[in-house]
A and B are shown apart, each in its own frame.
Chain A
């Protein structure tokens, strides 16, 4: 079974600064996907960024980027130029890729990020 660990229950950052959220995972799979989801106070789950394990290049989406270290099983999220609207719970998630019909997500416990003005 896969496990996802987020070791930072809470973090805070000043507006316009950069913050990095940590995530590690444990799996014996070689092919998989990793995701970061954002859950603002409205509690809707919003996909922030994804990374395919077979890709060496780190994914980037505007102010959001990841540092994917496959050997270390590490998948951190960097938020640049933090904005007040980034305040949310951030979940790291794992999905194995076995070519089947199930794409189950396994989530970490989340990191509550607060952006301060």
Chain B
């Protein structure tokens, strides 16, 4: 069964460093998303991406964040200068098989720890 994959599973970085989180969505999906979950809290929407551009972004997704689909398979989230409060689990999701564009499938997440 097709699945969303994410790498790395755990990333430790120092404050101020740049990180890139990688995702490989399900191959025939058209819509891509990033969410984050701070430990013990609810899952929060960051950004959605369709047709090579951002569809919507939340107030969390400021100028320090960017997304890219550099090729036909990868979808990346970049944080330019990490802060302590960026420590969280980051989930990639995809949707948009022809019949069910609204049914999102999540990857296993990347745990980001900023020290």
Q: Which residues of A contact B (CB under 8 A)?
A: 33, 37, 42-47, 50, 91, 95, 97, 100-110
Contacts and interface: CB of A to CB of B under 8 A. Distances in A.
B45 A103 contact: no
Nearest to B44: A107
B43 A50 contact: no
Contact of B95 (A37, A91, A103, A106): A103
Interface of B: 31, 33, 35, 37, 41-45, 48, 50-51, 55-56, 89, 91, 93, 95, 101-109
Nearest to A110: B42
Grouping DSSP codes into helix (H, G, I), strand (E, B) and loop, the B interface class, with mixed when no group exceeds half, is: strand
A47 B55 contact: no
Contact of B31 (A42, A97, A103, A107): A103
Contacts of A95: 102
CB-CB nearest 10 A-B residue pairs: A45-B106, A102-B55, A101-B50, A102-B56, A107-B43, A109-B42, A103-B102, A44-B108, A102-B48, A101-B55
